[in-house]
């Protein structure tokens, strides 16, 4: 028998204090029933004696202290999961909004999940070909990795994410895949762009969408990515699917978290974000991965827009400390018309070394990758020097490096959003570009590979 | 004794009715028996930090005290194992609760069933004191585990079993103290993690820890028993540096603490270490390693405990007379856990919300490192070397954790994101890093390799310093403004950076460099500099001088095989000398 309370003492959205409660536990899910019959969700943040501090998931509008009833449901927030979720659209709280029927639940799962035992993880090592050279060649994505896209307002991150979702495949493999897409506080237009992309390519049949748009309550955003990850865990580890999770935009999520933290009057950390932002983000990001003895995997592509393009802002900074690398988009490249504008130097995939080489991509991959990085870095320095001092001030080598950097951006990075390159094509383009440089400069590649792959002039 | 919960706020639980409990006691909370520790007491109510997720806990639930402070179990079975922050074995937890970590699992740290072959060392009638070795167990092929008389016990051995197989809880010896009381000794002992294990005396570190990393061993060495910090922004390679140290350091035991970091990094260690062999004895590295994994998604309070668990295990092996390295990745995450608990306790915050006791806690941790003479009558020596990664927000080391760490540690390997972008790894910046052990270690280097080792180091550092000044000039007026000697300096600096300091952790030939190879390689680069400097007097064509074929060979010299490098380098040296002289003789034909 679930007790109902009419003892709300205080409401300061998104928090509420209920008094005189019994047997209520931390993190328990609750329901509010308004006088007009409307039902809203909430959860327990703190419980002291008979007083519960409760966080609302929806707006506080219309709640009346005297008339509104509160029930506590005896379990944390859950999501009803089943394979029928594929092809459906849900709101940020996990309720269908596409007009279809409710999901016949195969199971109810706690949306907070449980931490994965490090001894049960399988190390991600299977190369995913995204067809994007700047990723495949230099910042290789592997199955089970979490690789965020650090973008800025007005940069084409959505197009890149959609391109990856469309083109990504594991070489020589026919396993079932699924996409879980969580729109977190983004606009209707942005969300529609993704959904239309999925529709256009037919991927919508294998996609689960959780949509919390900009005009939906901010507090709901805390739950949205967790809903998405719970669905992903179910599909990956119960149904053996290869799941790609796209979360956009993490910045909106962190702002919602800050809003609640401020309402709770917590001591703020950097820029007003709560001190536990790192731990909170980690409990989401770490849900990506593979498990020993399980076929499925969760690969995660969170997207975040860096305020003022500042990589040291707490959101990208803490994300970078948790995720296994980052793809950074550059406004300068975008202005030059280079699409996708991936800034390869600060971009990084930490798991690339285990996913490339003989039997995975090609034997020359590691060496050429390091050489391209080093050469592009030096070429960029040379170009900078050239703008200050003029071309005459450069040594012969530096002139070649400057030319290399120019070509590299245009040809290697700037492939456009519709080109799908195989890994061989990507590697060969790399060799073409390296042939601009004198052979003696190619110190990072084994001589036998230079002999085998470098185009003869 | 038991109390009742009155408040739950995340990992913080307040319970009343615990007037007789002690601060720091371990308690079991709620019906699931979650593990917690008492932080503060007010009247009969205790503030408890709970090491597991508290979801589902509410007022009225029971809290039981164990009357024991937070302790670790020490004995055979720790090596080759992976624990969470409060020393619960993760493989065992996986067996009990599946792929995810469920709550309230109670597993002993040491396997109760496993039989170990105990070899007695002491004989009945022997007088023993605390720390004396009464027997040994060959725990792994790499490590002989010494069973010591636990703290507080001394007397005469009344009986000791013969060589035979026993579990860790079987009594292996009985010691009678002066009052005639018998004490049963097993192969295990317990120790509270927040208290440093005692030793006879402490020494100033005087031997280097060989890491096989050129920038560390030659440029910024660390002593066995010393302390170091590795600060750096994300993506600068902190974890790779830590992994390299864990793999190649010439210590007997490595304790690797993954504190609030990525799960896959621990998996990487777990998969890779059993495959890798120690270059000194050919044994798999995992056989000398204890892993402590409290990843970022695991409960935050246990993260706070994890570094104490790690260093206590390290001290226990030190007490057996071993050299131990503790690698903590990352201390910033530990500090954040401290901050979170402090916030929940509503303490007055210090800088950036961190508690005011942050610096003293950090200092206490690092001060547990050192070279000591162990307890026991055989005067054996052991050491604990502590190396902590620091993850400063935005890479800015003016923040409290970096600053508090810098005040304590003696070695500072500053990682630099611009080096990382240029894929210069290890991305340790040679201008901002330092080692305060240079003076104390110099005699060792000189004794082993002669005067020239330290002289070469000084020379190389000087050239790198000069390069950074010359770069300023080049940036303003271009390279042509430099004199030939300055251009040579720039060129040599480039060689030191690219051909010596850069080291690829993922290539077998390069991942580990012996002292001899390090010395010869740097010497080769500096010889090039010296011969060229001599040749400059004849005004040669600089571009030809800097592109002689031998340069490419020097560039690849670090890949030379450990067995043949001496001969290879000698050949390169000869070739280089001939080529430089030929260029010099040709004069400047520009």
Q: Is the pLDDT of residue B1 over 80?
A: no
Distance, in Å, from the CA atom of B548 to the CA atom of B554, rounded to the nearest integer, reads 11
A389 contact residues in B (CB cutoff 8 A): 477-478
Find out whether A44 and A28 touch, Cβ atoms under 8 Å.
Answer: yes
Q: Is the pLDDT of residue A292 over 50?
A: yes
Q: Is the pLDDT of residue B587 over 70?
A: no
Q: Is the pLDDT of residue B590 over 50?
A: no
Tens of pLDDT, residues A100-125? 999 999 999 999 888 999 999 999 98
Omega within 30 of 0 (cis) for the link into A249: yes
Question: Distance (Å) from the C-alpha of residue B201 to the closest C-alpha of chain A?
Answer: 38
Find out whether A235 and A206 touch, Cβ atoms under 8 Å.
Answer: no
Asked whether the beta carbons of residue B235 and residue A291 sit closer than 8 angstroms, the reply is: no
Whole-prediction pTM:
0.92
Find out whether B168 and B116 touch, Cβ atoms under 8 Å.
Answer: yes
Distance, in Å, from the CA atom of B283 to the CA atom of B139, rounded to the nearest integer, reads 13
Instruction: Choose, out of A19, A74, A117, A238, the residue to mutate when testing the contact with B (most B CBs < 10 Å).
Output: A117
Tens of pLDDT, residues B471-480? 988 888 877 7
Which residue does chain A place closest to B91, by CA atoms?
A: A119
Query: Is beta strand A89-91 parallel, antiparallel or unpaired with respect to A207-213?
Result: parallel
Q: Point out which residues pair with A282 in neighbouring strands.
A: none
Instruction: Choose, out of B31, B49, B93, B423, the residue to mutate when testing the contact with A (most A CBs < 10 Å).
Output: B423
3-class DSSP state for residue B163? coil
Q: Is B566 left (phi over 0), alpha (psi -120 to 50) or beta?
A: alpha
Choose among A172, A147, A175: nearest CA to A242: A175
Q: Is the pLDDT of residue B568 over 90?
A: yes
Which residue does chain B place closest to A346, by CA atoms?
A: B421
Of the candidates A123, A283, A366, the beta carbon closest to that of B264 is on A123
Q: Point out which residues pair with B425 in neighbouring strands.
A: none
B339 contact residues in A (CB cutoff 8 A): 269, 275
Asked whether the beta carbons of residue A393 and residue B480 sit closer than 8 angstroms, the reply is: yes
A350 contact residues in B (CB cutoff 8 A): 235
Find out whether A41 and A57 touch, Cβ atoms under 8 Å.
Answer: yes
Asked whether the beta carbons of residue A26 and residue B506 sit closer than 8 angstroms, the reply is: no
Choose among B99, B192, B118, B218: nearest CA to B160: B118
ipTM of the complex: 0.87
Choose among A27, A78, A76, A85: nearest CA to A232: A85
Beta strand segments in A95-162, E: 107-110, 121-122, 128-129, 149-151
**pLDDT (mean) for A164-177:** 82
Query: Is beta strand A8-12 parallel, antiparallel or unpaired with respect to A297-305?
Result: unpaired
Asked whether the beta carbons of residue B506 and residue A46 sit closer than 8 angstroms, the reply is: no
Question: Distance (Å) from the C-alpha of residue B461 to the closest C-alpha of chain A?
Answer: 23
Distance, in Å, from the CA atom of A157 to the CA atom of A304, rounded to the nearest integer, reads 9
CB atoms within 10 A of CB A19: 13
Distance, in Å, from the CA atom of B453 to the CA atom of B443, rounded to the nearest integer, reads 11
- Residue B482 phi/psi, 5-degree rounding, is -80, 150
Omega within 30 of 0 (cis) for the link into A340: yes
Distance, in Å, from the CA atom of A273 to the CA atom of A314, rounded to the nearest integer, reads 8
Find out whether B170 and B110 touch, Cβ atoms under 8 Å.
Answer: no
Q: Is the pLDDT of residue A127 over 70?
A: yes
Asked whether the beta carbons of residue A116 and residue B100 sit closer than 8 angstroms, the reply is: yes
B58 contact residues in A (CB cutoff 8 A): 23-26, 28, 47
A386 touches chain B (CB under 8 A): no
Instruction: Choose, out of B57, B297, B301, the residue to mutate when testing the contact with A (most A CBs < 10 Å).
Output: B297
**Dihedral in degrees, nearest 10, Cα atoms B203, B207, B209, B215:** 120
Tens of pLDDT, residues B118-177? 999 999 999 999 999 999 999 999 899 999 999 999 999 999 999 999 999 999 999 999
Q: Point out which residues pair with A149 in neighbouring strands.
A: A303, A327
Of the candidates B10, B58, B93, the beta carbon closest to that of A23 is on B58
Of the candidates A50, A269, A292, the beta carbon closest to that of B352 is on A269
B6 contact residues in A (CB cutoff 8 A): 48-49
Percent with pLDDT over 70 in chain B? 99
Q: Is the pLDDT of residue A48 over 80?
A: yes
3-class SS letters over B256-292: EEEECCCHHHHHHHHHHCCCCECCCCCCEHHHHEEEE
| pLDDT score, position A388 | 84
Of the candidates B97, B98, B296, the beta carbon closest to that of A282 is on B296
| Residue B25 Cα distances to B16, B57, B194, angstroms | 15, 20, 11
Q: Point out which residues pair with B8 in neighbouring strands.
A: A47, B13
**DSSP letters spanning A194-212:** HHHHHHHTTGGGGEEEEEE
CA angle centred on A369, ends A365 and A374, rounded to 5°: 155
B293 contact residues in A (CB cutoff 8 A): 118-119
Instruction: Choose, out of B17, B261, B263, B294, the residue to mutate when testing the contact with A (most A CBs < 10 Å).
Output: B263
Distance, in Å, from the CA atom of A220 to the CA atom of B107, rounded to the nearest integer, reads 38
Asked whether the beta carbons of residue A118 and residue B336 sit closer than 8 angstroms, the reply is: no
Asked whether the beta carbons of residue B262 and residue A320 sit closer than 8 angstroms, the reply is: no
CA dihedral (A6, A7, A8, A10) positive or negative = positive
B232 contact residues in A (CB cutoff 8 A): none
B295 contact residues in A (CB cutoff 8 A): 115, 118, 282, 286
Of the candidates B93, B262, B393, the beta carbon closest to that of A322 is on B262
Percent with pLDDT over 90 in chain B? 72
pLDDT band for position B589 (cuts 50, 70, 90) = low
Helix or strand run (H / E) with residue A377: helix A365-389
Choose among B78, B196, B200: nearest CA to B130: B200
Burial class of residue B581, CB neighbours in 10 A (0-12, 13-18, 19+): middle
| Residue B238 Cα distances to A13, B420, B427, B530, angstroms | 42, 11, 9, 35
| Residue B272 Cα distances to B276, B285, B292, B468, angstroms | 6, 9, 16, 38
Tens of pLDDT, residues B243-280? 899 999 999 999 999 998 899 988 888 888 888 888 77
**CB within 8 Å of chain B, chain A residues 189-228:** none
Q: Is the pLDDT of residue B588 over 70?
A: no
pLDDT band for position A60 (cuts 50, 70, 90) = confident
**DSSP letters spanning B50-109:** ESS--TT--TT-EEEEEEEESEEEESTT-TTEEE-TTS-BHHHHHHHH-SB--SS----S
Question: Distance (Å) from the C-alpha of residue A447 to the closest C-alpha of chain B?
Answer: 10
Give the CA radius of gyration of chain A: 25
Which residue does chain A place closest to B295, by CA atoms?
A: A118
Asked whether the beta carbons of residue B353 and residue A269 sit closer than 8 angstroms, the reply is: yes
Which residue does chain B place closest to A375, by CA atoms?
A: B422
The residue count of chain B comes to 590
Asked whether the beta carbons of residue B393 and residue A314 sit closer than 8 angstroms, the reply is: yes
Tens of pLDDT, residues B185-242? 999 999 999 999 999 999 999 999 999 999 999 999 999 999 999 999 888 888 889 9
Asked whether the beta carbons of residue A122 and residue B339 sit closer than 8 angstroms, the reply is: no
| pLDDT score, position A393 | 78
Choose among A280, A270, A281, A318: nearest CA to B354: A270
B563 vs A413, which has greater pLDDT? Answer: A413
Burial class of residue B204, CB neighbours in 10 A (0-12, 13-18, 19+): exposed
Q: Which DSSP state fits A106?
A: S
Distance, in Å, from the CA atom of B46 to the CA atom of B65, rounded to the nearest integer, reads 11
Distance, in Å, from the CA atom of B535 to the CA atom of B462, rounded to the nearest integer, reads 21
Of the candidates A48, A117, A283, the beta carbon closest to that of B94 is on A117
How many cross-chain Cβ pairs, A to B, lie less than 8 Å apart?
Answer: 212
Tens of pLDDT, residues B476-522? 887 778 899 999 999 999 999 999 999 998 888 899 999 999 999 99
**DSSP letters spanning A33-80:** E-TTS-EEEEEEEEEETTEEEEEESS--TT--TTT-EEEE-SS--EEE
Find out whether B62 and B177 touch, Cβ atoms under 8 Å.
Answer: no
Of the candidates A267, A346, A366, the beta carbon closest to that of B349 is on A267
Omega within 30 of 0 (cis) for the link into B330: yes
Asked whether the beta carbons of residue B353 and residue A115 sit closer than 8 angstroms, the reply is: no
Helices within A72-223 (DSSP H only): 133, 157-167, 188-200
Choose among B305, B312, B321: nearest CA to B290: B312
Instruction: Choose, out of B264, B299, B416, B553, the residue to mutate when testing the contact with A (most A CBs < 10 Å).
Output: B264
Beta strand segments in B260-380, E: 289-294, 323-329, 370-373
Q: Point out which residues pair with A54 in neighbouring strands.
A: A16, A44
Asked whether the beta carbons of residue B478 and residue A393 sit closer than 8 angstroms, the reply is: yes
A115 touches chain B (CB under 8 A): yes
Distance, in Å, from the CA atom of A194 to the CA atom of B79, rounded to the nearest integer, reads 50
3-class DSSP state for residue B237? coil
Helix or strand run (H / E) with residue A333: helix A331-335
Half-sphere exposure of A369 (CA within 13 A, CB side): 25
Asked whether the beta carbons of residue A317 and residue B234 sit closer than 8 angstroms, the reply is: yes
């Amino acid at each position: 028998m679930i007790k109902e309370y009419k003892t709300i003492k205080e409401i300061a959205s998104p928090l509420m204090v209920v008094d005189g409660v019994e047997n209520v536990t931390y993190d328990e899910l609750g329901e509010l029933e308004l006088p007009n019959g409307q039902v809203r969700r909430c959860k327990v943040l703190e419980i002291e004696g008979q007083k519960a501090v409760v966080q609302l998931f929806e707006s506080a509008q219309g709640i009346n202290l005297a008339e509104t009833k509160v029930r506590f449901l005896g379990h944390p927030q859950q999501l009803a999961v089943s394979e029928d979720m594929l092809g459906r659209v849900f709101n940020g709280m996990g309720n269908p909004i596409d007009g279809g029927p409710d999901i016949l639940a195969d199971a109810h799962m706690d949306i907070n999940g449980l931490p994965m035992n490090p001894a049960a993880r399988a190390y991600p090592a299977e190369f995913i070909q995204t067809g994007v050279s700047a990723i495949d060649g230099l910042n290789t994505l592997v199955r089970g990795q979490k690789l965020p896209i650090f973008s800025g307002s007005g940069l084409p991150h959505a197009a890149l994410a959609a391109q990856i979702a469309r083109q990504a495949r594991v070489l020589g493999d026919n396993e079932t895949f699924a996409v879980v897409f969580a729109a977190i506080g983004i606009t209707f237009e942005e969300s529609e762009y993704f959904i239309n992309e999925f529709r256009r390519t037919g991927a919508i049949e294998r996609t689960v969408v959780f949509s919390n748009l900009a005009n939906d309550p901010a507090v709901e955003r805390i739950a949205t990515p967790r809903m998405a990850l719970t669905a992903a865990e179910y599909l990956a580890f119960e149904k053996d699917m290869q799941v790609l999770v796209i979360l956009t935009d993490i910045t909106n999520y962190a702002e919602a978290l800050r809003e609640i933290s401020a309402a709770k009057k917590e001591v703020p950390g950097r820029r007003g974000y709560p001190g536990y932002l790192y731990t909170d983000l980690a409990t989401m990001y770490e849900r990506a991965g593979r498990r020993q003895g399980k076929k499925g995997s969760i690969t995660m592509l969170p997207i975040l827009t860096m305020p003022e393009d500042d990589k040291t802002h707490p959101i990208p900074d803490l994300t970078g400390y948790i995720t296994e690398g980052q793809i950074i988009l550059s406004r300068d490249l975008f202005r030059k018309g280079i699409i996708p504008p991936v800034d390869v130097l600060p971009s990084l995939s930490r798991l690339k070394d285990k996913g490339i080489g003989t039997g995975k991509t090609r034997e020359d991959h590691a060496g050429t990758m390091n050489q391209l990085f080093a050469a592009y870095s030096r070429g960029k320095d040379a170009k900078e020097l050239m703008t200050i001092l003029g071309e005459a001030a450069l040594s012969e080598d530096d002139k070649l490096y400057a030319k290399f950097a120019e070509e590299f951006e245009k040809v290697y990075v700037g492939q456009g959003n519709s080109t799908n390159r195989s890994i061989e094509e990507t590697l060969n383009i790399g060799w073409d570009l390296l042939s601009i440089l004198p052979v003696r400069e190619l110190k990072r590649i084994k001589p036998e590979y230079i002999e085998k792959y470098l185009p003869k002039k | 004794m038991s109390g009742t919960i009155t408040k739950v706020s995340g990992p913080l639980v307040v319970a009343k009715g615990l007037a007789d409990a002690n601060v720091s006691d371990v308690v079991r909370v709620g019906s699931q028996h979650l593990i917690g520790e008492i932080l503060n007491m007010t009247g009969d109510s205790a503030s408890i930090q709970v090491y597991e997720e508290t979801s589902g806990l509410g007022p009225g639930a029971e809290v039981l005290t164990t009357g024991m402070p937070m302790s670790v179990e020490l004995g055979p079975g720790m090596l080759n194992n992976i624990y969470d922050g409060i020393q619960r074995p993760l493989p065992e937890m996986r067996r009990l609760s599946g792929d995810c970590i469920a709550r309230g699992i109670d597993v002993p740290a040491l396997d109760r069933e496993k039989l170990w072959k105990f070899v007695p060392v002491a004989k009945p009638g022997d007088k023993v004191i605390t720390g004396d070795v009464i027997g040994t167990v060959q725990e792994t092929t790499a490590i002989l585990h010494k069973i010591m008389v636990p703290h507080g016990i001394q007397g005469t051995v009344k009986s000791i079993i013969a060589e035979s197989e026993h579990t860790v809880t079987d009594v292996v010896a009985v010691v009678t103290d002066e009052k005639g009381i018998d004490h049963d000794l097993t192969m295990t002992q317990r120790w509270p993690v927040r208290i440093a294990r005692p030793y006879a005396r402490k020494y100033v570190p005087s031997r280097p820890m060989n890491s096989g990393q050129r920038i560390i061993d030659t440029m910024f060495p660390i002593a066995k028993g010393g302390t170091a910090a590795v600060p750096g922004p994300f993506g600068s390679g902190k974890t790779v540096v830590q992994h390299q140290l864990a793999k190649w350091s010439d210590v007997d035991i490595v304790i690797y603490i993954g504190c609030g970091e990525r799960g896959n990094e621990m998996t990487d260690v777990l998969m890779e270490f059993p495959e890798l062999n120690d270059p000194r004895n050919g044994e798999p590295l995992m056989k000398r390693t204890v892993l402590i994994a409290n990843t970022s998604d695991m409960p935050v309070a246990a993260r706070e405990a994890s570094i104490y668990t790690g260093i206590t295990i390290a001290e226990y092996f030190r007490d057996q007379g071993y050299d131990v390295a503790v690698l903590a990745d990352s201390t910033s995450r530990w500090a954040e856990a401290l901050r979170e608990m402090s916030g929940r306790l509503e303490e007055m915050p210090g800088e950036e919300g961190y508690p005011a006791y942050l610096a003293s806690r950090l200092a206490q941790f690092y001060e547990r490192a050192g070279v000591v003479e162990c307890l026991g009558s055989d005067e054996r020596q052991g050491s604990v070397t502590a190396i902590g990664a620091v993850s400063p927000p935005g890479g800015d080391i003016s923040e409290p954790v970096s600053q508090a760490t810098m005040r304590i540690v003696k070695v500072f390997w500053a990682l630099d994101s611009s080096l990382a972008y240029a894929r210069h790894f290890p991305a340790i910046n040679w201008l901002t890093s330092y080692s305060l052990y240079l003076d104390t270690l110099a005699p060792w280097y000189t004794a082993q390799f002669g005067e020239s080792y330290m002289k070469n180091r000084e020379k190389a550092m000087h050239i790198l310093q000069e390069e950074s000044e010359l770069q300023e000039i080049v940036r303003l007026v271009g390279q042509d403004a430099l004199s030939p000697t300055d251009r040579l300096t720039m060129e040599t600096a480039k060689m030191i950076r690219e051909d010596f300091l850069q080291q690829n952790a993922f290539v077998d030939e390069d991942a580990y460099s012996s002292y001899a190879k390090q010395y010869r390689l740097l010497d080769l680069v500096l010889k090039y500099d010296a011969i060229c400097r001599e040749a400059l007097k004849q005004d040669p064509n600089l571009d030809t001088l800097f592109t002689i074929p031998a340069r490419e060979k020097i560039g690849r010299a670090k890949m030379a095989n450990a067995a043949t490098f001496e001969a290879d380098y000698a050949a390169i040296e000869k070739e280089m000398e001939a080529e430089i002289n030929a260029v010099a003789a040709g004069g400047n034909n520009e």
